[in-house]
Amino acid sequence: MTEKWVQGEVVSVKHWTDSLYSIKIDAPNVRFTAGQYTKISLNIDNEDVARPYSFVNSPDESLLEIYSVSVPNGPLSTSLKKLNKGDPIKVGTHGNGFLVLDEIPIVENIWMLATGTGIGPYLSILKTESSWKRFEKAILVHAVRFEKELTYQETIKELKEKYKDRFIYITFVSREKSKNSLPGRIPDSIKKGTLQEKVGIKMLPENTHVMLCGNPDMLRDTTIELKKIGLEKHRRRSPGHITTENYW
Ligand SMILES: Cc1cc2nc3c(=O)[nH]c(=O)nc-3n(C[C@H](O)[C@H](O)[C@H](O)COP(=O)(O)OP(=O)(O)OC[C@H]3O[C@@H](n4cnc5c(N)ncnc54)[C@H](O)[C@@H]3O)c2cc1C
Ligand SMILES: NC(=O)c1ccc[n+]([C@@H]2O[C@H](COP(=O)([O-])OP(=O)(O)OC[C@H]3O[C@@H](n4cnc5c(N)ncnc54)[C@H](OP(=O)(O)O)[C@@H]3O)[C@@H](O)[C@H]2O)c1
C-alpha cells in the first residue's frame, strides 16, 4: 500500500534516559484508533527513512506522540533522538494494526503485556475514555531491563486515580533488583503463576484477553505459556484470547 504523508512539526522531545525518548508532534488530519501505529519518516542524508511507531496519545488528544528507544546503529531511531522543537517530521495519515479493542470481544479482564517501548499503544487505549466500556479490569504489565525505564509514571498515576480498582499496574525489572517490581521475565512468571498471584486474578479462558506488544521473543515465549493454560490466538474468523504486535 502506498503511504500517504502529512508534514508535521516537532512540538517537544522528552528524554527519559540516555536511550528512551518521547516526541510530541503537531500534524494535521492523521486518523487512527487507539492502539494503532503509523509510519514516521525523516530525510537522512538525502534519503527518506520510514519506520512504524505506535501512537501513545489517545485519538481524542490534539498532539500526536510516539515513544522510542534509540537502537545502537539504528538509522531512524538514532536520528529521531536528535530532533528538536520546530523540526519537520513526516507522519503517515492513517493508523494501521489490530492491537485495538474493536477487534476483540468485550471481556472481563484485559491483560496488556509489554516489553520496553511496547507500552505505548496500551497508554493510548487506556487514555481513551470509550475503551473502558469494553472491559471491567485492565491489567497493564510493563517489563524492562532497568528500573529507570519504567517511564510514564505520571500517566499511570492519573489512570490509577481515575479508574481505581479497575486499573492494575504491574512491573518487571530483569537486570537489577527493584523493590516494587517482579524479577525476571513475563513468560516465566506466567508459567510459575507469580504474575497471576501478584495481580490476584486468574487467567481463565472465560474471562481473559491478553494483548502482547514489543520484543518478538517475549511474544513467542508468552504465547507458548498462555496456550498451556488454555488460551488461544485470536483471529477474526476464530475468536480467541491472544492478540499480538511484534516490534521487529
Ligand atoms: C508495528 C510496529 C510498531 C512499532 N512501534 C514502535 C514504537 O512505538 N516505538 C519504538 O521504539 N519502536 C517501534 N517499532 C520499531 C520501529 O519501527 C523501529 O524498528 C525502531 O525504532 C528502530 O528503528 P531503526 O531505523 O533505528 O533501526 P531498525 O533497522 O528498524 O531496527 C534495528 C533493530 O533494532 C531492534 N529494535 C527495533 N525496535 C525496537 C524497539 N522498539 N525496542 C527494542 N529493540 C528494537 C531490533 O533488533 C531491530 O532488528 C515498531 C515496529 C513495528 C513493526
Ligand atoms: N535498555 C537499555 O539499557 C538500552 C540502552 C541502550 C540501548 N538499548 C538498545 O535498545 C534495544 C532494546 O532494549 P530494551 O531494553 O528496550 O528492550 P528488550 O531487549 O526487549 O528488553 C525489555 C525487556 O524484555 C525482556 N525480554 C527479552 N527477551 C524476552 C523473552 N524472550 N521473553 C520475555 N521477556 C524478554 C528483557 O529481559 P532480559 O533483561 O532478561 O533480556 C527486558 O526485561 C536493544 O537493541 C538495546 O541494545 C537498550
* Cα-to-centroid distance, 22 and ligand 2 (Å): 18
pLDDT reported for residue 3 = 72
Q: Which residues of 44-53 are buried (b: 16+ CB within 10 A; e: fewer)?
A: eeeeeeebbb
Q: Measuring from atom 37 of ligand 1, which residue has the nearest CA?
A: 248
Amino acid, single-letter form, for residue 205: P
- Using CB distances shorter than 6 Å, the residues near ligand 2 are 19, 69, 71-72, 115-116, 143-146, 149, 172, 174-175, 185-187, 214-215, 217-218, 221
Q: How far apart are CA 12 and CA 86, in angstroms?
A: 8
Domain that holds residue 24: 5-92
Of all ligands present, the nearest one to the C-alpha of 120 is 1
pLDDT reported for residue 2 = 62
Instruction: Report, as ranges of residue numbers, the positions in the chain whose pLDDT lies below 50.
Output: none
Report whether 15 contacts 21 (CB < 8 A): yes
Q: Which residues contact 153 (CB under 8 A, 6 or more apart)?
A: none
pLDDT reported for residue 1 = 54
DSSP states along 121-189? HHHHHHHSGGGGGSEEEEEEEEEESSGGG---HHHHHHHHHHHGGGEEEEEEE-SS--TTSEES-HHHH
Residues 121, 66 share a domain: no
* Cα-to-centroid distance, 40 and ligand 2 (Å): 22
How many domains does the structure of the chain reveal?
Answer: 2
Residues 153, 59 share a domain: no
Domain CATH number, residue 15: 2.40.30.10
